[in-house]
A and B are shown apart, each in its own frame.
Chain A
């Protein structure tokens, strides 16, 4: 039994830096069935209508974080978003908001990468464990792992930055993903780098620039809940402030 093929009007924002002054819209009729993802719709457009259409992708299974883009104004991973959920509506695909558009749906994420690097997203052991032999295990209880595991699910897709109005208004804001990773490493019991990360957390551009809009947690495709991590980061920062008043380090 052959079901009749449905089609959807898919509008894609195009931008070709070598010839366009600003982005423009191009609409395509894309056939789809119940498991057609937005990414597959883009493949269809590229294969059948516009070979020059540029977009990032890699794993097709919500692991690599390459295909973050705006679908009807909401940040999504294209591979994890399905046309069936937009049945009866038109679809508009735009590059991830709040980032400079490089070409078509490709944005420049270097600001996000720089911020993630800045907060030292790796385990910094204390002096005692710094030279631990590689064949020795660092034991961790299930609870110690649970403390950070949810926040370690981040795939750096940038959807939370596209959702964040504070980042939109003040690009200096360190932002949801980087602050979440900062918290993730601070609460890892193998890590002793909280003091090195404190200047970033406590700064004006750190946790305190967040006004708890909460949209980052709403759109996160990995359910990391960045807004939770940032509020917990604020508590960490406030505690740090009080302790520094009682017992200054310098």
Chain B
């Protein structure tokens, strides 16, 4: 058996654990898409805070305005604050961006044939259309409830 000296010395390029996503526009787009979750968290905390303030109110049959003072403060001083309004506009835009980018990906998770004897797949636009219909439907219901219980 011949002895051949091996010069093998595989080089492992260093991995940038924190900044890897800055290397490629596609990764940046992905991080923005996923990053919108942080803003969604703020929206959730905002609603929880509102429920908490509502729980502090004293609810009586003959409701006086002083009894619901914490919730009135929440509505007028907290939600009415220009900074919070601006933040909520940003959150709305970010969540719409998340919805659009997420809906664009969803057809990849759906692989259904048109019928039992077809080799044709359900077109991507059907999945997307169903998701947009769901979004519009939910928005209409929420706005309708808000309007009717005003």
Chain A contacts to B: CB under 8 angstroms: 15, 17-18, 22-23, 73-74, 97, 100-102, 108, 141-143, 145-147, 165, 168-169, 211-215, 217-218, 225, 227-228, 231-232, 234-235
Decide yes or no: A102 and B27 within 8 Å by CB, A146-B119, A228-B109 being known contacts.
no
Contact A17 B13 (CB under 8 A): no
Residues of A within 8 A of B118 (CB): 143
Determine the distance from Cα of A235 to Cα of B15 in the docked complex, in whole angstroms. 31
Query: What are 7 A-to-B residue pairs whose CB atoms are below 8 Å?
Result: A100-B11, A101-B12, A142-B119, A165-B27, A168-B20, A169-B15, A234-B109
Check A215 against B27 for contact (C-beta < 8 Å): yes
Q: Within 8 Å of chain A (Cβ to Cβ): is B150?
A: no
Q: Give chain B nearest CB distance to A227 CB in angstroms.
A: 6
- The reply to whether B20 and A214 form a contact with Cβ atoms under 8 Å apart is no
**Is B3 close to A, CB under 8 A?**
no
**Residues of chain A contacted by B121 (CB below 8 angstroms):** 146
The reply to whether A214 and B13 contact each other, CB–CB distance below 8 Å, is no
Q: Is the CB of B20 within 8 A of A169?
A: yes
The smallest beta-carbon distance between A86 and chain B, in angstroms, is 17
Other-chain residue from B10, B113, B116 in contact with A100 (beta carbon distance below 8 A): B10
Closest chain A residue to B106 by CB distance? A231
Given contacts A169-B17, A227-B108, contact A108 B30 (CB under 8 A): no
Contact residues in A for B12 (Cβ distance below 8 Å): 100-101
Q: Which residues of A contact B17 (CB under 8 A)?
A: 169
| Alpha-carbon distance A31/B9, docked complex (angstroms) | 33
Decide yes or no whether B26 CB sits under 8 A from chain A. Answer: yes
Q: Contact between B34 and A214 (Cβ–Cβ < 8 Å)?
A: no
Q: Which residue of A lies closest to B21 (CB)?
A: A165
Give the 7 A-B CB pairs with smallest separation, nearest first. Answer: A100-B10, A231-B109, A17-B9, A18-B7, A228-B108, A146-B119, A101-B11
* B interface size (C-beta, 8 A): 27
Q: How far is the CA of A219 from the CA of B107 in the complex (A)?
A: 18
Closest Cβ of chain A to B98, distance in Å, is 13
The winner among A97, A108, A213 for most chain B CB atoms within 10 A is A213
Contact A17 B11 (CB under 8 A): yes
Task: Answer yes or no: B76 CB below 8 A from chain A CBs.
Answer: no
Chain A residues near B10: list those with CB within 8 A.
Answer: 17, 100-102, 108
A22 and B26: CB pair below 8 A? no
In the assembled complex, the Cα of A51 lies from the Cα of B111 at a distance in Å of 49
Given A18-B9, A165-B20, A235-B109, 6 other A-B residues pairs in contact with their CB atoms under 8 A: A73-B23, A141-B117, A168-B15, A169-B20, A213-B30, A215-B30
Which residues of chain B from 1 to 51 have a CB within 8 Å of any chain A CB?
A: 7-13, 15, 17, 20-21, 23-24, 26-27, 30, 34
Query: Could you say which residues of chain B place their CB within 8 Å of the CB of A231?
Result: 108-109
A165-B20, A169-B17, A213-B27 are contacts. A22–B11 as well, Cβ < 8 Å?
Answer: yes
Complex alpha-carbon distance, A74 and B26, angstroms: 10
- A101 to B10 Cα, complex, angstroms: 5
- Shortest Cβ distance from A183 into B: residue: B111
B105 interfacial contact with A, CB 8 Å: yes
Asked if residues A214 and B105 are in contact (CB atoms below 8 Å), the reply is yes
Docked-complex contact B108 and A211, CB < 8 angstroms:
no
Question: Is B117's CB under 8 angstroms from A143's CB?
Answer: yes
Q: Knowing A142-B119, A168-B20 touch, does A23 contact B11 (C-beta < 8 A)?
A: yes
Report if A143-B27 is in contact (Cβ < 8 Å); known contacts: A168-B15, A169-B20: no
Q: Please name all residues of chain A whose beta carbon is closer than 8 Å to the beta carbon of B116 when the two chains form the complex.
A: 143
Q: Please, which residue of chain B has its CB at the minimum distance from the CB of A235? A: B109
Write out the residue numbers on chain A whose beta carbons fall within 8 Å of the beta carbon of B109. 228, 231-232, 234-235
Q: Are B30 and A214 in contact (CB under 8 A)?
A: yes
Q: Report whether A212 and B105 are in contact in the complex, using a CB–CB cutoff of 8 Å.
A: yes
